[in-house]
Amino acid sequence: MNTKIIKIDPVHIDQEEIEAAGKILINGGLVAFPTETVYGLGGDARNAEASKKIYEAKGRPSDNPLIVHISSVDRMTEIVKEVPPQAYLLAEKFWPGPMTLILHKNDRIPYETTGGMDTVAIRLPSDPIARALIDASSGFIAAPSANTSGRPSPTRAEHVIEDLNGRIDEIIDGGAVGIGLESTIIDLTEEVPTILRPGYVTLEMLQEVLDEVRVDPGLIAADSKRKPKAPGMKYRHYAPKAELLLVEGDNTKVVDEINRLCELAVREGKSVGILATEETKGCYPKGEVLCIGSRKDEDSIGRHLFGILREFDRMQVDVIYSESFSDARFGQAIMNRLLKAAGHHVLEV
Ligand code: AMP
Ligand code: MG
């Protein structure tokens, strides 16, 4: 298949191109597009065949449900059994934005889109290209991250091209995304609203709106026998090709330990990648050092994480040693992705 690649400026949206992309979706085709979190691979959420194509293009396990993207809050009512009051409270505060709600689906959404589940994940993105595309389509775009299953999520069109060129109808290049990590998922079908995936909207932010909210125990104990409730969270994910080891502890000890490990690996003839920060990038004399951003600016760390993991793939390093980050607020989402990328391979110093 020949994949059409087009550039769209998010500030001056080319409406003709968007209408054409909307037609592709209406006709059952697949279009990758930017959102504020990561690039999504879109298909018509109400078309079972389109959803099947999404799984096929990504090589995604068929029990891993897709997120349905809408462009106005009231359209949510068309695809769910009922909208609980918390959904409106959260929507008012965090939509458009990086938050996904899980609700009971009705029969307008096929099981192919929800991986066989009776619930559906819904998000209203803020990215102007994403919203224009939703408006130009049926209004319901099923879109998981636009990467090959298991690889780091795409934060630039180049990453989508790497993974999906030749497998889908069109890729819209809208430049680099703003947030860089996937949305926070909140399950409203449980008695107590439950975070199934941490993201830019943090537990603390949700607590300001909801009386009660908890974190899926399967997430906290991600290396134990408890299964996470979001099917996608159980797979090894975001993984670079090289083995990745996360070193945790006091900053100076972490630097010393990474240097020690690096020395040993280099002696064995291995090429080593080091994931460092603005504050520490000059402290590693050996190894290929990539700087993820400043510890003073957590947002920059989130934004660069997946791109850096892909960069190590391109450099073909044999092993990656990474510093770790605080587990508070947005740091929780960053650490969740890093731990998964490392297959929970952590060294405490
Ligand atoms: P992605 O869009 O690639 O980030 O994947 C969507 C994520 O949402 C995956 O982790 C899914 O398991 C999760 N998800 C989607 N729908 C549901 C649902 N109905 N219940 C629980 N998790 C869901
Ligand atoms: Mg994904």
Q: What number of residues does the chain have?
A: 349
- Provide the 10 A C-beta neighbour count for residue 263: 13
What is the model's pLDDT at position 264? 97
Measured in angstroms, how far is the CA atom of residue 232 from the centroid of ligand 2?
Answer: 7
Quick one: CA torsion of 80, 84, 85, 87, rounded to 10 degrees? -60
Closest CA to 114 of 140, 137, 96, 136: 140
What 3 state SS string does 293-343 have? CCCCCHHHHHHHHHHHHHHHHHHCCCEEEEECCCCCCHHHHHHHHHHHHCC
Rounded Cα–Cα distance for residues 205 and 68 (Å):
23
User: Ligand 1 site: residues with CB under 6 angstroms?
Assistant: 64-65, 67, 102, 114, 117, 119-121, 144-145, 182, 185, 196-197, 229-233
Nearest ligand 1 atom to alpha carbon 147: 3
Measured in angstroms, how far is the CA atom of residue 230 from the centroid of ligand 1? 6
Query: Rounded CA gap, 200 and 334, in Å?
Result: 9
For the entire predicted model, the pTM comes to: 0.95
Nearest to 115 by CA among 78, 80, 66: 66
Whether 90 and 101 have beta carbons less than 8 Å apart is answered as yes
φ, ψ for residue 274, nearest 5 deg: -125, 125
- What is residue 76's predicted lDDT score, i.e. its pLDDT? 98
pLDDT score recorded for residue 211: 95
Tokens of 221: 């104990």
Pocket test for ligand 1, best of 80, 101, 102 (most atoms within 8 A of CB): 102
Handedness of CA 42, 142, 131, 101 (dihedral sign): negative
> How many Å lie between the centroid of ligand 2 and the Cα of residue 202?
19
CA of 349 to the centre of ligand 2 (A): 31
**Cβ 185 vs Cβ 197: under 8 Å:** yes
The pick from 54, 66, 163, 229 for probing ligand 1's pocket by mutation, whose C-beta has the most ligand atoms within 8 angstroms, reads 66
List the beta bridge partners of residue 187: 102, 194
Q: Using CA positions, which residue lies closest to atom 21 of ligand 1?
A: 230
What are the per-10-residue average pLDDT scores of the chain (349 residues)? 97 98 98 98 98 97 94 97 97 98 98 97 98 98 96 97 98 98 97 97 97 90 67 75 94 97 97 97 96 95 96 96 92 94 92
